């Protein structure tokens, strides 16, 4: 791990964040059932307008396949996984539906955050863990998640939400396993959050 994330990077990110006085109080979150209906209607709109559900990890895969093909074209050509994300019918591989969707997610998240006074530089963690450890765990968890999402052919967006609403067998099996994995591992990393 140390070779992947040089400690200089971690130290820079761990610099305490100066508190700005008289900052606006963050608004409370939306009622979860209302937020769920909103999210469900967005998903329904994707089905009705596009004939496909939402996604997230697929955009990452396209980006990585494009990056690998840019650096080592011959290597990417010999790999079926990368090839799957590079066949774009002659147009640029990054002109991809999920990439544009994910750019929208960034904008939508930012707009909602600004409106609610929730945009601020922070590290999300419990009180009993150092910032440095939290950042290492964020990277490690992300790695596991990236690998798992590709093995399952989708993540919480593409499988659990979209496939779940279509009553796909694989998506429901996936969803149950996500909760099982989360609850199973929670005890071991409780110091990070509680």
Partner 1 sequence: MSAPFFKFGLFGAEFSLVMAFAIGIGFGFFLERAGFGSARKLTAQFYFKDLAVFKVMFTAIVTALLGLFYLSWAGVVDLSLVYFGPTWLLPQIAGGLMLGVGFVIGGYCPGTSMVALATGKVDAVFFVLGVTAGIFVFGEAYPAIQGLVNATPMGEITLPQLFGLRYGVVVFLVVLMALAGFWGAGAWERRLARRAGEV
Site for partner 1 in 56-85 (CB under 8 A): 56-57, 60-61, 63-65, 68, 79-82
Question: At closest approach, how far in Å is the CB of 11 from partner 1?
Answer: 13
Nearest one of 90, 89, 100 to 63, comparing CA atoms: 100
For position 164 contacting partner 1 by CB under 8 A, the verdict is: yes
Per-residue DSSP letters for 58-106? HHHHHHHHHHHHHH-HHHHHT-HHHHHHH--TTS-TTS-HHHHHHHHHH
Question: At closest approach, how far in Å is the CB of 112 from partner 1?
Answer: 4
> Which lies closer to partner 1 via its Cβ, residue 21 or residue 122?
122
Question: Which residues in 19-38 contact partner 1 (CB under 8 A)?
Answer: 29-30, 32-33, 35-38
For position 191 contacting partner 1 by CB under 8 A, the verdict is: no
How many other C-beta atoms are found inside a 10 Å radius of the C-beta of residue 47?
Answer: 14
> Which lies closer to partner 1 via its Cβ, residue 18 or residue 51?
51
- What's 187's DSSP letter? G
Question: Which residues in 126-145 contact partner 1 (CB under 8 A)?
Answer: 126, 134-145
Are 14 and 136 in contact by the 8 Å Cβ rule? The answer is no
Question: At closest approach, how far in Å is the CB of 116 from partner 1?
Answer: 8
Instruction: Write out the two tokens for 144.
Output: 């596991």
Q: How many residues sit close enough to partner 1 to count as binding (CB under 8 A)?
A: 124
Question: At closest approach, how far in Å is the CB of 22 from partner 1?
Answer: 18
Residue with tokens 């964040």: 17
């Amino acid at each position: 791990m140390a070779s992947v994330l040089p400690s200089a990077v971690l130290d820079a990110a761990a610099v305490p964040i100066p508190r700005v006085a008289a900052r606006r109080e963050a608004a409370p979150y939306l009622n979860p059932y209302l937020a769920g209906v909103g999210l469900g209607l967005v998903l329904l709109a994707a089905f009705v307008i596009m004939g496909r559900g939402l996604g997230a990890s697929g955009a990452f895969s396209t980006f990585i396949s494009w990056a690998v093909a840019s650096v080592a074209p011959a290597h990417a050509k010999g790999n079926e996984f990368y090839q799957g994300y590079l066949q774009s019918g002659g147009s640029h591989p990054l002109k991809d539906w999920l990439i544009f969707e994910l750019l929208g997610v960034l904008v939508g998240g930012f707009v909602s955050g600004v409106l609610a006074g929730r945009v601020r530089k922070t590290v999300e963690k419990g009180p009993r863990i150092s910032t440095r450890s939290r950042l290492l765990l964020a990277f490690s968890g992300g790695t596991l998640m990236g690998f798992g999402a590709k093995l399952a052919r989708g993540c919480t967006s593409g499988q659990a939400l979209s496939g779940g609403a279509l009553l796909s067998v694989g998506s429901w099996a996936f969803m149950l396993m996500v909760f099982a994995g989360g609850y199973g591992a929670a005890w071991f990393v409780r110091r990070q959050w509680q």
